Amino acid sequence: MEDKLRELGNAALLLRNRPFSRTPFPFPAEYTGWPDEQRAWRDSATLYDQSHIMMDVYFEGPDVKRLFSDFGVNSFTTFGKNRAKQYVACNPDGMVIGDAVLFGLEDNLYNLVGNADGHVSKWLMYQIETGGYRVTATVDPASPRLSDRQVFRYQMNGPLTQRIIEKAAGGPIDPIPFFRIGDLTIAGHSVHALNHSMSRVPGMEFSGLELYGPAGGGIAVWEALVAAGEEFGLRLGGARSYPTSAAESGWIARPVSAIYSGESMRPYREWLPSTDLQASPSMQGSFISDDIADYYATPWALGYGRFIKYDHEFVGREALQRLEAAPKRKKVWLRWDEDDILRVMRDSLFGAEAQRPRIIDVPMGYRNYHFDKVVDNHGALVGLSMYLVYTVNIGGFVSMAMVDEASAIEGTELTVVWGQEDGGASNSFTVPHVQTTLRATVSTRPPA
């Protein structure tokens, strides 16, 4: 990858000139319609098959805890079997390389689960090769065919999740604390369950589970879940509704990995192949900078500041301690103004061709990396907005954003710049358009 970046001279330019693309999901776009599937995770439950889109990497050996502790901001003092955490890794400057869910399968066996790009997994595999850690890494890559996977991985969310799971399991199941792993049996197959419920439903121990187990039992378990959920209004989730759930849960998916610049990261870039997925995503939006570091994020900007624990030495620790007291960006939701949304939709579809703004896709628009400028009422840049999404549960359009602390206040009115500065002329893969602005209101919690 380093050779490729050196040849092009600019990492930001490389990503901005990539063909626009969406993440391919090898399952139906919709089952009962994306609005119905969104509504179900509020009223009943929605079931997604993540077996084909997530990459599992198993790290095993006597140094596995030391490896993860050395490169993660998280504390590992109590981590072990049947525990899980949102693992966050930074570069030496305190900028986020990536995050993924870490499962403690045994005290010396961890499973790191994330998207197919494998930002964090590859960073750790590089450390194993170059740092002398007594750890082996085994990759179970995403695949359209369950028969090619070691495990199935299903996700169910919604207030009736517990009732459906208990019916499928044939009776009550033992309580599973938040971000802990429990065991159950469904359709005669052993299933592990991670409780990732973000909110407690009255009378229920959990409202969201990630279920996984040996791939050979995947079809039987899926069919049992679907049958059990029929009376409760369970919906299957398709590719159109799947990425929109992040806007309601507050997860900023796929920040730009902080690997593309800096001498300290050069050996890693030399280790990565030029064909690696991290060299191929496209970058869109109204924010333009030739310095790729302007697209990086701190843990605070992604809402991960609470995960930082200084009870151990880790890469990026000193930089984060320096940044701790400095002004920083924070994660917020932006609720986009309804009248402005309708104006842009009308003009982009029916306006004079030379004056059409960029089209707003529903329920979710442009993918890979998307960064729009967020400005205050003086026109000063105060942050970046990503991934505009519509959900029926919110009843409007929202985006996740990273904005300066002074603007990250409930109810603050800001402006989002929509469309590229040159109308897409610099990128042959972008439909020509004119740039425009839309009003947006800050929310520090998921908008209702």
Q: Which amino acid is at 436?
A: T
pLDDT (tens digit, 9 = 90+) per residue, 43-94?
A: 999 999 999 899 999 999 999 999 999 999 999 999 999 999 999 999 999 9
pLDDT at 365 over 80: no
Considering only residues 12 and 224, tell me which one the structure prediction assigns the higher pLDDT: 224
Radius of gyration over every alpha carbon of the chain, rounded to an integer in angstroms: 22
Give the span between the Cα atoms of 157 and 78, in whole angstroms. 27
Pick the CATH number of 329-443 from 3.20.20.80, 3.40.50.1000, 3.40.50.720, 2.40.30.110: 2.40.30.110
Residues 6+ apart with CB under 8 A from 94: 298, 299, 316, 319, 320, 322, 323
Could you write out the DSSP letters of every residue in 125-175? HHHHHHH--S-EEEEE---S-GGG-SEEEEEEESTTHHHHHHHHHTS----
Mean pLDDT of 297-325: 97
Q: Give 219's pLDDT tier (boundaries 50, 70, 90).
A: very high
Give the model's pLDDT for residue 181.
Answer: 97
Pairing of strands 181-186, 369-370: unpaired
| In the chain, % of residues over pLDDT 90 | 80
Mean pLDDT of 133-151: 94
Could you write out the DSSP letters of every residue in 8-71? HS-HHHHHHTSPP-----SS-S-SS-HHHHHHHHHHS-EEEE-TTTEEEEEEESTTHHHHHHHH
Query: Could you identify the residue written with the tokens 């084909």?
Result: 52
Answer yes or no: are the C-beta atoms of 436 and 365 closer than 8 Å.
no
Q: Same topology for domains 34-53+145-240 and 329-443, yes or no?
A: no
- Structural domain spans, the chain: 34-53+145-240, 329-443
Give the model's pLDDT for residue 41.
Answer: 96
The closest alpha carbon to 382, from 410, 407, 418, 416, belongs to 407
Mean pLDDT of 148-166: 96
- Give the helix/strand (H/E) hosting 7: helix 2-8
- Give the helix/strand (H/E) hosting 4: helix 2-8
Answer yes or no: are the C-beta atoms of 239 and 194 closer than 8 Å.
no
Give the span between the Cα atoms of 75 and 318, in whole angstroms. 16
The closest alpha carbon to 59, from 128, 116, 4, belongs to 128
Burial level of 129, CB count in 10 A (0-12/13-18/19+)? exposed
Which sign does the torsion angle of CA 21, 23, 27, 33 carry? negative
Answer yes or no: are the C-beta atoms of 439 and 337 closer than 8 Å.
yes
Pairing of strands 96-106, 181-186: unpaired
The closest alpha carbon to 22, from 49, 53, 57, belongs to 53
Query: What is the model's pTM?
Result: 0.95
Q: Which residues pair with 236 in a beta bridge?
A: 47
Per DSSP, 255 falls in state P
CA dihedral 295, 297, 303, 304 (to 10 degrees): 150
Statement: 34-53+145-240 belongs to CATH 3.30.1360.120: yes
pLDDT (tens digit, 9 = 90+) per residue, 333-356?
A: 999 999 999 999 999 999 999 999
pLDDT (tens digit, 9 = 90+) per residue, 1-52?
A: 999 888 877 889 888 877 765 666 788 999 999 999 999 999 999 999 999 8
SS3 96: strand
pLDDT (tens digit, 9 = 90+) per residue, 171-210?
A: 999 999 999 999 999 999 999 999 998 555 666 778 999 9
